Amino acid sequence: LQSQIQILNLGLPITQTLTFNRVQPVQQWGEYVEGQFNFGKLSFVPGLRLDQFHWLQHARASADPRLWGRYALDSETSLKAYTGLYHEPPTGQQIDQDLGNPDLQLEWGLQFGTGLEHRFSDVLTLSAEVFYNRRGALIVRVPPVLLGDGSVSNARLLNDGIGRAYGFELLLKREITARLYGFLAYTLSKSQILTYTLPGQTPQGQDGQWQAFQYDQTHILTVVAGFKPTPKWDLSTRFRLVSGNPYAPVTGSAFDADSGTYIPTRGQFGSAREPLFLQLDVRAEKRWVYDLWSFALYLDVENVTNHLNEEFHVYDYRYRDQGSIQGLPILPTFGVKGKF
């Protein structure tokens, strides 16, 4: 048996309207405790977070220990390291009785990182680190399974996904001063996943290979800079350059006479990517400060260069012509805010 979920693309006629409205109550309680210990040049902070989740007559609990440490080589340079366990509950749609699986467990991630931090001056700091993240019990869609007694099991979703992410991160930060502030951050990373398979089969990544995760972004560059010509004025800008999201390209299609639609043949997910995402934002703000309250006017312009970022890849109903859905164009916003 094989089940396939298809998102209606541009050009595909819609023959039936489906309206779905559902509320999924979920309760979450959390407790957190940590302590700081210093032994000369060495300092570390152990912590523990407890969470309790309740939904649809189901209860889940997690205990996440975490540890952060730092060792001062000298007055300007320090080594740092951290590790921690993190849990995340399923979304409302994933635990829905008709669309998902209320019996899902919590997803988990185990993070490790280590790096070096150097302070060039009182306001300029450089930090570099490598990281690794192992993820388990990821929620993935599964096909129906024919059981030995002839019945069909259709869980729709199971916690059978395995993921990993690793990379390098660089952060150059200039502390906020009377006139100038900002930071530059760059991340080089890879995020991959192995998903559910029927017994005896290899994972969906071809021949059991890891495949790109949905939000795998190899390069992420962010630059933020701010300037205060006077105490009342604040001028700032943000620049982002990000690798395009991966997708599975269509290599061909076949007409299905039973359904009257075309069925695509796709390549491996991650073998194609959207173009680079590029965005430049600017902001200007002026404040008036009084004894009991303050007042400010600001102008925030997103995507000031009007760059046409492609966010989703789409095909026509025959899967022969292709295009993309683009993000927001230039978007100016004028606002007022007050504080008492």
What type of residue sits at position 136? Answer: G
* Tally of CA atoms within 13 A in the half-sphere of 91 that contains its CB: 8
Please enumerate in sequence order all residues whose Cβ is within 8 A of that of 252, keeping only pairs 6 or more positions apart, or say none.
264, 265, 319
Backbone phi, then psi, for 223, in 5-degree steps?
A: -125, 125
Answer whether 158's CB lies under 8 Å from 143's CB: no
Answer whether 288's CB lies under 8 Å from 294's CB: yes
d(CA 217, CA 245) in angstroms, rounded, equals 6
Q: What H or E segment, with its residue span, contains residue 106?
A: none
pLDDT for 195: 64
Q: What H or E segment, with its residue span, contains residue 76?
A: none
Q: What is the pTM of this model?
A: 0.81
pLDDT in tens, 53-80: 999 889 999 999 999 999 999 999 999 9
Q: How confident is the model at residue 157 (pLDDT cuts 50, 70, 90)?
A: very high
Helix (H, G, I), strand (E, B) or coil at 131: strand
d(CA 14, CA 62) in angstroms, rounded, equals 43
What type of residue sits at position 235? Answer: L
pLDDT of 153 > 70? The answer is: yes
pLDDT in tens, 183-224: 999 999 999 998 655 444 444 444 467 889 988 999 999 999
Residue whose token pair is 């302070």: 119
Ramachandran quadrant class, 51 (left: phi over 0; alpha: psi -120 to 50; beta: rest):
beta
